[in-house]
Structure 1
Amino acid sequence: MNKASGGFQLTLQSLSLVVGFMAWSIIAPLMPFISQDVNISGNQLSIILAIPVILGSILRVPFGYLTNVIGAKWVFFCSFIILLFPIYFLSQAQTTGMLMTSGFFLGVGGAVFSVGVTSIPKYFPKEHVGLANGIYGMGNIGTAISSFLAPPIASIIGWQTTVRSYLVVIALFAVLMFLFGDAKEKKVKVPLIEQSKRLFKDLKLYYLSLWYFITFGAFVAFGLFLPNYLVQDFGISEVDAGLRSGVFIALATFLRPLGGILGDKFNAVILLMIDFSLMIVGAIILGISNHILLFTIGCLLISICAGLGNGLIFKLVPFYFSNEAGSANGIVSMMGGLGGFFPPIVISYVTMMTGTSHLAFILLAIFGTIALLTMMHMLKRNKVSTV
Structure 2
Amino acid sequence: MQREKLQLPLQTSSLIAGFMVWVLISSLMPSIKQDIDLTNQQTALVTAVPVILGSILRVPLGYYTNKYGARLMFSISFFILLFPVYYISMAASFIDLIIGGLILGLGGATFSIGVTSLPKYYPSEKHGFVNGIYGAGNIGTAITAFSAPVLASTLGWETTVRVYLILLILFGILNLAFGDKKEKRINIPIKQQLSAVYKNTTLWALCLFYFITFGSFVAFTIYLPDFLSNNFGLTAVDAGLRTAGFIALSTLFRPVGGWLSDRFNPFIILIGVFSGLTFSGVLLSFSPTIELYTVGVLTVAFCAGIGNGTVFKLVPLYFSKQAGIVNGLVAAMGGLGGFFPPLVLTTVFSITGHYSIGFMALSEVSLASLVIVLWMFYQDKLQVESKIINSTAQGMMITDKQGVIQKVNPAFTTVTGYEPEEVIGKKPSVLRSGHHGPLFYENLWDQLNDQGYWEGNIWNKRKNGETYLEWLTISKVRNDAGELIYYVGQFNDLSRHIEEQKITQE
Q: Distance in 2 between matches of 1:355 and 1:148?
A: 29
Is residue 4–residue 184 contact of structure 1 (8 Å, CA) maintained in 2?
no
SS of the residue aligned with 1:356? coil
Letter in 2 for 1:175: I
Q: Distance in 2 between matches of 1:191 and 1:28?
A: 37
Q: What is aligned with 1:95?
A: 93
Once the two structures are superposed, the pairs formed by residues 75-154 of structure 1 within 5 Å of their partners are 75-154=73-152
Q: Distance in 2 between matches of 1:280 and 1:226?
A: 19
**Structure 1 residues 32 and 385: CA distance shift in structure 2, 3 A:** farther
Match of 1:269 among 267, 270, 291: 267
More RCO (CA 8 Å, sep 6+): 1
TM-score (norm 2): 0.75
Q: Distance in 2 between matches of 1:143 and 1:318?
A: 26
CA deviation map 1:87-128 (0-9, x unaligned): 000000000000010000001000000000000000000001
Runs of 5+ unmatched residues, structure 1: none
Letter in 2 for 1:115: I
Is residue 267–residue 385 contact of structure 1 (8 Å, CA) maintained in 2?
no
SS of the residue aligned with 2:3? coil
Once the two structures are superposed, the pairs formed by residues 3-42 of structure 1 within 5 Å of their partners are 3-5=3-5, 8-42=6-40
SS of the residue aligned with 2:325? helix
Match of 1:170 among 168, 172, 178: 168
CA deviation after TM superposition for structure 1 residue 377, in Å: 1.7
SS of the residue aligned with 2:336? helix
Asked if residue 290 in structure 1 is aligned to residue 288 in structure 2, the reply is: yes
TM-score (norm 1): 0.98
Larger % of strand: which? Answer: 2
Asked if residue 223 in structure 1 is aligned to residue 221 in structure 2, the reply is: yes
CA deviation after TM superposition for structure 1 residue 376, in Å: 1.5
RMSD (Å), alpha carbons: 1.0
Match of 1:310 among 294, 308, 311: 308
CA deviation map 1:152-190 (0-9, x unaligned): 111011000000000001100000001111010000111
Letter in 2 for 1:113: F
How many residues matched? 384
Letter in 2 for 1:3: R
SS of the residue aligned with 2:2? coil
Match of 2:208 among 210, 216, 232: 210
Displaced runs of 4 or more, over 3 A: none
Match of 1:240 among 232, 238, 241: 238
Q: What is aligned with 1:255?
A: 253
Q: Structure 1 stretch 372-381 or stretch 95-104: which is displaced more?
A: 372-381
Q: What is aligned with 2:372?
A: 374
Q: Distance in 2 between matches of 1:306 and 1:382?
A: 23
Runs of 5+ unmatched residues, structure 2: 386-506
Asked if residue 195 in structure 1 is aligned to residue 185 in structure 2, the reply is: no
